[in-house]
Structure 1
Amino acid sequence: MLPVFKNSWFPTVFDDFMNNDMMACATTTAPAVNVKEDENAYTMEVAAPGIKKEFCRVHINDDGNLSIAIENKMEHKEEDKKQHYLRREFSYTNYQQNYSLPEDVNKEGISAKVENGILTVILPKMKKEETKVSRMIEIS
């Protein structure tokens, strides 16, 4: 028969881990973000199903980083005087993230739109001015 160890600290540690304010943060998720690049721009796609453009903010912050904030307030309520609610669901979702931009992004040309539950941010690249390297070489 195997010995049984009675460990009094395990339940306490487990309870302390599971029953604290950190668990609320661990159960929240950030929206998925896709980033594409082509020769003219970077494109960010932020999944935000059901979001309206009024709830989105995209701006360049004081540090020169791209800041995206989404605040979604959805209230599921239907008034019916003949019934009373046993459960009502209110959903308030806030998301804010700062992104460091590549050096070749034209910060003045950034644009954004919301369509079909996706916030799309276009980060145009600065036009590369190719310097011509042709010159006369002196022969000594």
Structure 2
Amino acid sequence: MSSLLDDFFGTDLSDWRSQNYSSTNTTLPKVNIKEDENGFVVEMAAPGLKKGDFNIQLDQNLLTISSEKQEEQKEADGKEKDSTRYTRREFAYQAFTRSFTLPESAAGDKISASYEDGI
């Protein structure tokens, strides 16, 4: 129990927040990183997005996966612009960026991506 408390209180809380939340205060997608005989696999849980919503960049040995999505739902719409009148209008914005330092054994030129069932 002592070790558990030491681990918790030894963690920098501001660092914990930056690791688990994006700049828009939404939670960051969780990842699984695994290695097999073919290389490394990064699985990211990001349901509700489409493959085209992701931006994947490699800068030297830094892999960055990000997304930015804006949605707007409208119900009975009144006038807009000059005489704005809404019956109900909801919009949402979500964005995240996750970066990973690749190990020297990773081949950056062989990176590929797929998106299926929220992963």
Q: Same fold (TM over 0.5)?
A: yes
CA distance in 2, matches of 1:30, 1:115: 18
1:25/1:71 CA distance change after superposition, 3 Å? closer
Residue 63 of structure 2 aligns with which residue? 66
Alpha-carbon deviations, 1:6-58, whole Å to 9, x = none?
xxxxxxxxxxxxxxxxxx96953111111122122111111111101221011
* Structure 1 position 41 matched with structure 2 position 43: no
CA distance in 2, matches of 1:68, 1:75: 24
SS at the partner of 1:102? coil
Gaps of 5+ in 1: 1-23, 119-140
CA distance in 2, matches of 1:64, 1:115: 26
The one-letter code sitting in structure 1 at the alignment partner of 2:52 is: E
Please list every run of at least 4 consecutive aligned residues from structure 1 whose deviation after the TM superposition is greater than 3 angstroms: 24-27, 78-81
**Cα deviation, residue 77, structure 1:** 2.2
Bigger Cα Rg: 1
Give the TM-score of the pair, scaled to structure 2: 0.65
Residue 96 of structure 1 aligns with which residue? 97
Task: Report the identity percentage.
Answer: 41
Number of corresponding residues = 92
Which structure's residues are more often helix, by fraction? 2
The one-letter code sitting in structure 2 at the alignment partner of 1:100 is: T
Aligned-residue RMSD, C-alpha: 2.5
**Cα deviation, residue 89, structure 1:** 2.2
Gaps of 5+ in 2: 1-21, 79-85
CA distance in 2, matches of 1:38, 1:51: 27
